[in-house]
């Protein structure tokens, strides 16, 4: 079997090294709320001399490598603040897209307490294969709409899905303040790295295959079907450079994750009210 070609080890190493050296995340302007982490990551790719397509406002993933079939989607999280879940706008998290393997890069930085601050250190880093969040590669996202809403029947309702998934900081114990790379178990471990955890995610018993929106009661009613792959394990390896901490990484029990996510979701919904 041919050895899998990947740049994830190099990408992780460069990001972790920059974090240790205090390479700051810099806002381009005071209104730059979304792309400062992308700019930081782009500098790491330049240092590696890794060619990538220029990210666009609605491109997915944020960075697609030119010479390796991989993409990197970035998720910046302010701390203290939201850390248990992240939004995936119109894209369900997964480890494959358009023939490319997808990695998610989660970075946490201190929440701005000093008015006008334009630079931040990176305080947490997890580079994670997308299959760790969701191993389904078959689902195809589409936005749909219905017409005829409202008293005059001329309003359209657009069903533009937002997926909310748990972050590695909710799923894992042992990654806070400790940069970590999560890869599928079939990847050959780079000799510069060592394993710090074996992680097994197991498919659930039933799947949401649809939902009905009740506009009178303001409720969404999910439709379930039995998962044909219920109980199927997906194996991953948590690893770090041999020069980094060997503190073990473990999965948080699913029931605890569900409680964390439910609490975080309730807080987010309260903020939106």
3 located within any domain: no
**Phi first, then psi: what are they for 138, rounded to 5°?**
-95, -25
19 located within any domain: yes
Q: Give the SS3 label for residue 263.
A: helix
Burial of residue 101 (CB within 10 Å: 0-12, 13-18, 19+) is buried
Question: What is the Cα–Cα distance from 32 to 1, expressed in whole angstroms?
Answer: 45
DSSP string, 218-230: TEEEEEEEE-TTT
Q: Which residues of 58-83 are buried (b: 16+ CB within 10 A; e: fewer)?
A: eebbbbbbeebebbbbbbbbebeeeb
Task: Say what the pTM is.
Answer: 0.90
257 located within any domain: yes
207 located within any domain: no
Which structural domain, as residue segments, surrounds residue 15? 8-202+233-272
Measured torsion, CA atoms of residues 236, 97, 5, 74, in degrees rounded to the nearest 10 = -70
pLDDT > 70? residue 82: yes
Q: What is the pLDDT of residue 31?
A: 54
212 located within any domain: no
216 located within any domain: no
Tally of domains in the chain = 1
DSSP 122: -
Q: List pLDDT tens digits, range 129-188.
A: 999 999 999 888 888 899 998 887 889 998 888 898 999 999 999 999 999 999 999 999
Q: Give the SS3 label for residue 47.
A: helix
217 located within any domain: no
Q: Which of 76, 241, 96, 266 is nearest to 167 (CA)?
A: 76
124 located within any domain: yes
């Amino acid at each position: 079997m041919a050895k899998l070609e990947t740049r994830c080890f190099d990408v992780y190493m460069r990001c972790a090294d920059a974090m240790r050296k205090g390479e700051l995340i810099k806002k381009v302007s005071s209104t730059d709320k979304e792309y400062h982490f992308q700019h930081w990551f782009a500098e790491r790719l330049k240092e590696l001399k890794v060619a990538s397509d220029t990210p666009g406002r609605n491109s997915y993933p944020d960075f697609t490598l030119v010479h390796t079939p991989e993409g990197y989607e970035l998720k910046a999280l302010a701390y203290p603040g939201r850390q248990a879940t992240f939004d995936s706008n119109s894209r369900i998290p997964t480890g494959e897209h358009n023939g490319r393997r997808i990695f998610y890069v989660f970075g946490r930085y201190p929440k701005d307490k000093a008015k006008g601050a334009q630079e931040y250190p990176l305080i947490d880093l997890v580079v994670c294969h997308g299959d760790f969040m969701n191993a389904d590669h078959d689902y195809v996202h589409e936005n749909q709409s219905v017409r005829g809403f409202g008293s005059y029947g001329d309003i359209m309702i657009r069903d533009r899905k937002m997926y909310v998934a748990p972050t590695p900081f909710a799923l894992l114990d042992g990654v806070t303040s400790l940069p970590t790379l999560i890869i599928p178990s079939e990847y050959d471990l780079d000799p510069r790295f060592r394993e710090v955890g074996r992680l097994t995610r197991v498919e659930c018993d039933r799947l949401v295959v649809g939902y009905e929106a009740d506009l009178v009661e303001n409720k969404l009613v999910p439709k379930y079907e039995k998962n044909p792959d219920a109980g199927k394990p997906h194996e991953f390896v948590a690893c770090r450079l041999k020069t980094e901490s060997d503190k073990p990484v473990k999965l948080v029990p699913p029931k605890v994750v569900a409680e964390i996510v439910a609490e975080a979701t309730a807080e987010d919904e309260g903020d939106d009210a």
